[in-house]
Structure 1
Amino acid sequence: MDISTTYMGLALESPVIVGSSGLTNAVHKLKEIQDAGAGAVVLKSIFEEEIAYEYNDLIKETYQKTGYNLEQFDYLDFELKGKKLHAYLELINQAKAGVRMPVIASVNCVYSHEWVSFASQIAKSGADALELNMFFAPTDLEQESNDLEKVYFQIVEKLLETITIPVSLKISYYFSNLGRMIQQLSETGVSGLVLFNRFFSPDIDTDKFEVKPSFVFSSPSDIAISLRWMAIMSQRVNCDLAASTGVHDAQGVIKHILAGAQAVQMVSTLYKNKIPYLKTVNRDIQNWMEIHGFNTLADFRGKLSQSKADNPAIYDRLQFMKYYS
């Protein structure tokens, strides 16, 4: 059974992409991922916060030693970004030299003016594509939702004017009109959309009176949100769709392809079951295809999307309904 696919114009031997994580931050790990059968890999993201914190720490240290005016330290910002970015570019170069599967770089930023400056250099480093992990927290109570959403389009417009490699956007489901937002983003010229980001979730320790992380890994039940929206948006966008969060086994992959996905991303299950588990996932997909008489992924992709479902309204209904005989 042929489980190859394409995503953002890239040829993948498997629909399973290993998402950005600590599993993808070194070349020896990437080789193991490739040997296990992944279709592609998203490198560990470069976070703008890391650079900002490093920058602020150096500013404070230098200021305390010299007493200079902080306005004189703009050049340090450039130097620090150069050092941080250089290390990331080296990872891309080593990855491209070490593996044959597509290598997708990843940028995770929180300030809109930094996206293009990071992305333009990453594109020149040889990455096959770039995934932008895009989310701007709607915590500014003075800002209208429309103004916040405009930032996404401004970034994409600037980025696509600057680089030519395929670009995907990893977005959240926190939009006032999610379906229309997904559709509009797909019309900007991006090559792919990843549904959806997974966020840090805080919890509270009631004994220590501290804020702590809650569930770090996803669970199989988390697949529900991406599965619903994958099915709703399939055949209604102008770019490829990939799924993320809650895909823990072959069934999760198959469900998303039935809903219309070109590819899926896995992370949490590989932490739990280790990277060689990818072989099991690929084999189980092939076994399922053989049982049901499918030779390729295209044979059943989108078969249960909303546009092709016998009961399309089931994807729209949000309330629990109780049926009486």
Structure 2
Amino acid sequence: MIDLKTEYAGLKLRNPLIAGSSGLTNNPERNKEFEKAGVGAIVLKSLFEEQIEMQSSNLLKDSDYPEASDYVQEYVKVNQVNEYLELIKKTKALCTIPIIASINCYKADNWIDFARQIELAGADALELNVFYLETSLTHDYYKMQTTYVNIVRKVKETVRIPIIIKIGKNFTNIPALVNTLKVNGADAVVLFNRYYQPDIDINTMQIVSGNVFSNHSDLSDTLRWTGIVSGQIPGINIAASTGVHDWEDVIKCLLAGASTVQLTSALYTHGSEIISQILTCIEEWMHQSRIKTIEEFRGKLNYKNSSDPSRYERAQFMKYFSNRD
């Protein structure tokens, strides 16, 4: 009997597939469809602090009453937060699998305020989507890391539900950051956040949006850092994200050490049908490999367990091509 159960940030999941945060998870009925299709958990669409501030600014742009600024900003914030809390409540009422809330903001005080309300609304865990794109020539890297740590500490002190940190790959030392987050209370990390991709239209000579969805080539960085982090930092769960499009990608992430795998672009591209297809293929692969549980092969090829961990390292690129003409 094949057993796909796994544990993620203290949550018991029936399998390692998670519907990642996106516009698709912003609807309670659709979330129920994802549950029926077989996912082990759902991350709701993020509540964006930046979006709240942008809407406030748009309302105030043509206003002749600047003194109304505080009132409008608070009104927009309360309205957006209440809508999000309703999304949590309605999804929890329809679904039996774990529901993970997601908030995306950049001020520590607001993280605390949002987190407290989200826990009371019934979310099973909270994914903190922290992102800074620094372009300053005088930027202090350690200040960015300190911001992450402060957010984790303050939120952890405020709520009892598991805290998950979703990070980007724009760090010089990802294992060190993950270890610091773990020490300060993070229960799991998501590797990685996929940022907005810019492109250039050479005909109009304008900056435009690039490819919205990830592709298979994006999986390499996800595998590399999942393998390295899981091998070097025991005791923290990893959700592999970005570049995961089929059942083979999922198995690769699990072999690298991921506890769960988040699907987003694949759901947009193929719909919820891809979920059952992936689960069926994973079970068949496990059956053929004579593996009964996820834990029997999870992390088998991470940095610690691999017979040649140097294959995860950047230096391996030169080694690989050194013998080729």
Runs of 4+ in 1 over 4 A off after TM superposition: none
Distance 1:99 1:45 in 2: 18
1:39-79 deviation per Cα after TM superposition (whole angstroms, max 9, x unaligned): 00000111112211111122234x32xxx443x53233222
**Unaligned residue ranges in structure 2 (runs of 5+):** none
Query: Paired residue for 1:324?
Result: 323
Which one-letter code corresponds to 2:323 in the other structure? Y
Shift of 1:208: 1.6
Shift of 1:10: 1.0
Query: Paired residue for 1:157, among 153, 159, 170?
Result: 153
Q: Specify the SS of the correspondent of 1:106.
A: strand
Query: Paired residue for 1:286?
Result: 283
Question: Are the equivalent residues in 1 in contact too, given 2:187–2:236 (CA < 8 A)?
Answer: yes
Q: CA RMSD in A?
A: 1.5
Shift of 1:285: 0.3
- Trace 1:13-32 onto structure 2 (pairs within 5 A): 13-32=14-33
Shift of 1:235: 4.2
Shift of 1:276: 1.3
Query: Paired residue for 2:122?
Result: 126
1:208-228 deviation per Cα after TM superposition (whole angstroms, max 9, x unaligned): 222111111000111110111
Which one-letter code corresponds to 1:317 in the other structure? R
Q: Specify the SS of the correspondent of 2:7.
A: strand
Of 268-277 and 105-114, the range deviating more from structure 2: 105-114
Query: Paired residue for 1:266?
Result: 263
Q: Specify the SS of the correspondent of 1:234.
A: helix
Query: Paired residue for 2:178?
Result: 182
Query: Paired residue for 2:110?
Result: 114
Distance 2:10 2:4 in 1: 16
* Count of paired positions: 320
Q: Specify the SS of the correspondent of 2:262.
A: strand
1:164-209 deviation per Cα after TM superposition (whole angstroms, max 9, x unaligned): 1111000011112222112111221111100011000111111122
Shift of 1:33: 0.4
Question: Are the equivalent residues in 1 in contact too, given 2:231–2:305 (CA < 8 A)?
Answer: no
Shift of 1:90: 0.2
Which one-letter code corresponds to 2:7 in the other structure? T
Question: Are the equivalent residues in 1 in contact too, given 2:232–2:303 (CA < 8 A)?
Answer: no
- Trace 1:1-325 onto structure 2 (pairs within 5 A): 1-61=2-62, 63-64=63-64, 68-70=65-67, 73-237=69-233, 238-318=235-315, 319-321=317-319, 322-324=321-323
1:217-275 deviation per Cα after TM superposition (whole angstroms, max 9, x unaligned): 00011111011111111143332111000111111111111111110000111111111
**Unaligned residue ranges in structure 1 (runs of 5+):** none
After TM superposition, the score normalised by the length of structure 1 is 0.94
Q: Specify the SS of the correspondent of 1:320.
A: helix
After TM superposition, the score normalised by the length of structure 2 is 0.94
Distance 2:76 2:30 in 1: 27
